[in-house]
Amino acid sequence: MKRSEIVGIPVTAATRTRATRRCCRGAHARLILAPGAGTSRASRWMRALAGAVARQNIEVWTFDFLRVERRHNRQIRKATWQAVLRHVREVEPDLPIYIGGKSRGGHVATEVAAEFSQEDGGAVKGLVLLTYPFHAREKYGEYRKDHFGEIDKPILFVQGALDAWGRGCELVERRKHYADKPWVLRILPDANHWLAVDGSKELPPETCENVAGTVANFICVQHDPAVA
C-alpha cells in the first residue's frame, strides 16, 4: 500500500477537486481535514499536521476547495465537502469517519455536519476543529452565526489562547452556551491562530506531535472510553 496518493474527486459535472490520502497499516479510523481560507492541503501547516496524525494509525484525507467567484464561495465549499465525504465513505466503508479542518475549513465542516443526510450522519462519528474562527480577526465577542446547536456529534476543539479569530477564553465562554454538547477543549497557552507562540505561521514540531496525539486520543475515546 502506498503511504500517500493523490485522488481526483468530482464535485460537479464539470469540476473536480484533488485530495491527498495518507494511508497507514492497521488504521482504525479516518479523518478528513479541510484547509483554512486562502491556503491549500499542500501548505506546510496542513502537511505537517496530517502526517503526524497519520503516524497515529489514523488514515488522513486532505483536500482543496475549488476557487470560484466570491458570490459562489459558500455553496461550492459545502458542495466540495459533501463530494469528498461521499467519496471517502465509499472507500472501506466500515472505518469510522471524522471530519474537520483548520480555521475556515473546520467552519464549513460544521455547516455540512448540521445538514447531514442519514447516510452521512451514520458514517461520521465526530468533528475535529483546529483554530476554529469564532469571529473575524480581532472582533472579540462579535461571534459569527454557528451551527453547533444542530450538531449532536462529539467535537474536539484545539485553540490557541491568543488566537485573534477566537481566543481560548472565548471558546470557554461559547462552551457555556452548549453545555449539553459533547465537546472536548484543548487550549494551548500563548499560542496564536497557527498554534505557534513566536508570532509565526508555522506549526512547531513539538506542538504538531502533541496536537496529533490529542486528535488520536479523542478519536480512540469515542470507541473505547477506557482509553481516557
**Residue-wise pLDDT tens digits, 31-62:** 999 999 888 999 999 999 999 999 999 999 99
Q: Which three cell numbers stand for residue 70?
A: 466570491
Q: Work out the average pLDDT over 110-136.
A: 87
Amino acid at 202: E
Asked if 144 contacts 135 with a C-beta cutoff of 8 angstroms, the reply is: yes
DSSP tag of 37: T
pTM recorded for the entire structure:
0.92
Asked if 207 contacts 49 with a C-beta cutoff of 8 angstroms, the reply is: no
**CA 162 from centroid of its chain's CA atoms:** 20
Q: Work out the average pLDDT over 205-226.
A: 90
Asked if 128 contacts 156 with a C-beta cutoff of 8 angstroms, the reply is: yes
Domains in the chain: ranges and CATH: 4-227 (3.40.50.1820)
